Amino acid sequence: MDMQQSELLPIGTGLLTEPSVTSHVSAHYNSLIVEGLVSQGWAVIPDYLDPQLCEELRAEMLRYHEQDQFRKAGIGPVEERQRNEAIRRDKICWLEGATPAQRKYFELMAELRQQINRELFLGLFDLEAHYAVYEPGDFYRIHLDAFRGRSSRVVTVVSYFNPHWREEDGGLLNIYDSDDRTLVSQILPLSGTLVCFLSEMIPHEVTPTAQLRCSIAGWFRRNGSTGELVDPPT
């Protein structure tokens, strides 16, 4: 993704993909995320993304949705598709840094990635991310985003783009304890909120939603060959 971003930078900025200025606020938030990852494997920051960026990303998402650009996640042979549909019902559309709003999102995530690398030495080298829409009735049953030693996904980042949300709208992100799988947190998918967790460690689920639910799910990946083994289908 960094390569694509750098190709899109205006002439004169060279091939510098690492942002040089990090605002105080996001540096502070990024430290809180690192602390959360260390102490419990996950972190939630409300208002991480600014309202204007959230509006732009939401508008884009709704436009792509209207233009039928979203696809069911994990399409495969019929049996696999059925199994998949019992687990997840969202539709996705990959981000490719095609618009200023997407590039801003990737820039912010690059800052977060660098801070995680500086403090935790995880050697995260890029981010793959997709828009996801859950229509009324859609859900994503309890799962892990990566299986130990079988995936390059290390840290998950999810952000939300829904200006209004109440508990009765469903579509909550439930976070479970990594050992005994008891419910430890329920997060409303409200605009600006960012959730970050260790992909191999934290079981989580999206409860059935009653409203259209817009989000971006992303994964910071480690650079390393996983041989024949690939990430879980998305």
Contacts with ligand OGA by CB under 6 A lie at 132, 140, 145, 158, 173, 204, 206, 215, 217
Residue 110 interacting partner from ligand OGA, Mn ion, none (CB closer than 5 to 8 Å by kind): none
Would you say 118 or 143 has its CB closer to ligand OGA?
Answer: 143
Strand order across the beta sheet in which 71-72 lies: 42-45, 194-198, 153-160, 213-222, 124-134, 91-94, 71-72
Q: Which does 172 bind (CB under 5 to 8 A by kind): ligand OGA, Mn ion, none?
A: none
173 binds, among Mn ion, ligand OGA, none (CB under 5 to 8 A by kind): ligand OGA
- Considering beta carbons, is residue 30 or 159 the nearer one to ligand OGA? 159
- Residue 9 is classified by DSSP as S
**What are 204's two structure tokens?**
């989580």
DSSP β-ladder status, 42-45 and 140-143:
unpaired
Are the CB atoms for 130 and 217 separated by under 8 Å?
yes
> Minimum distance between the CB of residue 143 and Mn ion, rounded to whole angstroms?
6
Can you give the binding site for Mn ion, defined by CB under 5 A?
A: 145
Nearer to ligand OGA, 92 or 110 (CB): 92
Cα–Cα distance for residue pair 178/154, rounded to 1 Å? 15
Cα 179 to the center of its chain, rounded Å: 23
Which CB, 114 or 174, lies closer to Mn ion?
174
